[in-house]
A and B are shown apart, each in its own frame.
Chain A
Amino acid sequence: MSARLTAPNLQLNELGKIRHFLTLEGLKQHHLLEILDTAESFINPNTDEIKKVPVLRGKTIMNLFFEPSTRTRTTFEIAEKRLSADVASLDIATSATKKGESLLDTLWNLQAMQADMFVIRHAESGAAHFFAQHVAPHVHVLNAGDGQHAHPTQAMLDMFTIRRHKGDIYDLKVAIVGDVLHSRVVRSQIQALSILEAREIRVIGPKTLMPTHPEAMGVHHYDNIEEGLQDVDVIIMVRLQNERMKSALIPSEKEFFKLYGLTKERLALAKPDAIVMHPGPINRGVEIDSEVADGPQSVILQQVTYGIAVRMAVMSIIMSNAAQLAQHKAEQASLELEMASADDTDGKENA
């Protein structure tokens, strides 16, 4: 039964290549490097511009946003259009899809409109897995953020940014500061960093914003930012959502900034060439001081540009893998046919 499929094999095809892009968990280093290398090829080395290419001409990509996010949707749309795909975006109110049947009906209806790929954002962890389990075999699912689970393209663009500045992820010390517990981006970043063999991953913040078992995620927890930032190469700041104050996880933005805000003085504790990242949009004076956000070590705006190239890379790799798999199957089939007819002849000779 399909229900027994587990996360990693659901997103890989028979040749071990990416079929759906749901989470980084279970992917190998070569999968991630292929994405980073391919993303590189979309960027003009002199101008950092991203040119339109006709790779996905004739393919239809649908962006299904069950949880509205104009920013993420826009970067996906731009990436899809730069690949020359046909693009349709739908904001779907979850209230309209409360019952299971109608949620899948929505999906199957859109699938019937000749969709080749769904880019899905949903407020429920595991939603992308759910859709991937129920789409037709030729349709691909790309997770654009599901609940608190994963946001793999965002994490990959962060890796891309780090690699552009540091040459390699291997052996880097990375500190992630803020709300780790509720962040799907951080979960994916941690997975990406471990697959790419970062030397050390630290998470910094109060215990109320940390997952119960950080060690299960392969990270070290620091509740003191001064200790946590010592000698790191990369600092990733996480956006603090307002709801965290309402649910009594932290007292106030002011106190959070006093304890965990990234200031010039704290930045000085990291390596002198450390870079500062933030998935945006930033809360100035809450997670990060303006002076740091706009300072020379900040790479926040580049992340946005690279996001387009990385998403283009993921989508073209998925479609490329599908083409190669189809070709492989066709070759296998003709080979089997040949062998079958060879067997026939043998039989006759023996007779």
Chain B
Amino acid sequence: MRLMIKNARIIDPSQNLDRVTHLYIARGRIAGIGDEAPEGFSADQEIDATGKWLLPGLVDLKARLGDPGSNFAGNIASETKAAVAGGITSLCCPPDTSPVNDSQAVTELIQRRARQAATAFVMPVGALTQGLEGELLSGIYSLQQAGCVALSQADRPIQNSLTLKNALEYAVSHDMVVMLRCEDQKLKNNGVAHSGPVSSRLGLPPIPPSAETAALARDLILVEEAGIRAHFSQISCARSVELIAEAKKRGLPVTCDVAIHQLHLSEMDVMGFNSLFHTSPPLRSLEDKSALQMGLKHGIIDAVVSDHTPLERDDKLLPFGESRPGISGLETLLPLLLKLVNENGLDLMTAVRSVTQTPAAILGRNVIGSLEIGNSADLCIVDPQATWTLEEERMLSEGKNSPFIGWEFTGQVEQTFFQGRPVFRNNPI
């Protein structure tokens, strides 16, 4: 099957490419880009993408797929469908599955189910400690052998500094990136909302920024001492951006990401006690939000993730503090990013890079998130003019827990290809 996508504006940060031309796919791989077809190429099918954008399939560093286990809504089949509907073709699934992905068996199970679904490339992330308990180390070598692309503690950071130091020093010889979320449980103190004017007024137990920043400062020192490549997940505070900037200036091999909703929402959204706005880390102040936006603009924040957390209806049908934190975010990662491009002056190339080239580089896998010749033909076609509204009924994820339902967007994924096969096509109503 040979496919030619004609007249698209092809944007690929990995090649510093942004121009209107044609893209050629043969045997599931990128065969060429340019006005001239590669030698001997004759298309079986042509797609006219005039006026459309063509992007590499997005790489999401954190998306829960609900598989294995029943602690989240959905499963690999349903959630990868949601992913490709959002233009995401490669995604890392954190180890907070049930059972926890701290063994070869679970890693292989995830990969098998992903292969069966054959909708997107699923990269398991292994647990740094057994059962994510933060006490005993997992078999890191076995996890790597089985195919884990990184190690993390999901949303359950190691509290004991000595355990973290040991885990980092042990992991350093396996050349796998360690993803750390920073949260001091004692400082969090059962809090549910950012410690600020809104939680003060609503009487919601507060989470001070220090719950994140104090832990981040500790982790940076331990990372430096261990000499490991570390990636910090879902930072939420202005001060965290500064800490990361300082560390990078010192030459530490660190990167970080932000969850897309942190770039759009703030503590103000919690005013109505709407549990859809209950997230972890919490939605922070407006100052934090703009510091995160600046951090992305200036390259201090490397990647943007969906932090996709598909939840059952019941999980949110509770008073704010009792509801489970999290947002079903796969289908809004790209739309929300384009919203920043349209409304906040974020550079389009920077935006696309933060969900393609850089997350791929963080994982050390340059074959994804890039349209280089020879790479798997994972890509999406976006209609930049289309305006649409997110509707619960049209969400493909089993988790309908999105605070963005009812939001209007400009720019919509029209088609997604995975390994050269069409896996999503938008059907306008």
Interface residues of A (CB under 8 A from B): 1, 3-7, 10, 25, 99-101, 103-104, 122, 124-127, 129-130, 134, 146-150, 184, 187, 211-214, 216-217
Contact = CB atoms under 8 A, between A and B. Distances in A.
B405 A100 contact: no
11 contacts: A3-B274, A6-B271, A100-B314, A126-B321, A127-B319, A129-B272, A147-B203, A147-B319, A187-B203, A213-B196, A216-B200
A200 to B, nearest CB: 19
B365 to A, nearest CB: 38
Contacts of B319: 122, 124-127, 129-130, 146-147
Interface size class of B (residues with CB under 8 A): 20 to 34
Contacts, number: 95
Contact of B203 (A103, A130, A134, A148): A148
Given A3-B274, A101-B314, A212 B201 contact: no
Contacts of B314: 99-101
Contacts of A125: 202-205, 273, 319-321
Interface in B315-339: 315-323
B276 interface: yes
Interface of B: 195-206, 208, 271-276, 313-323, 392, 405-406
A1 B201 contact: no
Among B196, B208, B320, the one with the most A-chain Cβ atoms within 10 Å of its Cβ is B320
B205 A6 contact: no
Given A6-B272, A130-B273, A187-B203, A100 B406 contact: no
A126 B317 CA distance: 12
Contacts of B406: 1, 4
A126 B204 CA distance: 8
B321 A124 contact: yes
Among B203, B208, B317, the one with the most A-chain Cβ atoms within 10 Å of its Cβ is B203
B320 A7 contact: no
Contact of A213 (B197, B204, B313): B197
Contacts of B276: 3
A148 B320 CA distance: 13
A147 B200 contact: no
Given A4-B406, A124-B319, A212-B195, A150 B272 contact: no
B204 A100 contact: no
Contacts of B275: 130
A216 B392 CA distance: 35
Contacts of A217: 197, 200-201
Given A3-B276, A124-B319, A130-B273, A25 B201 contact: yes
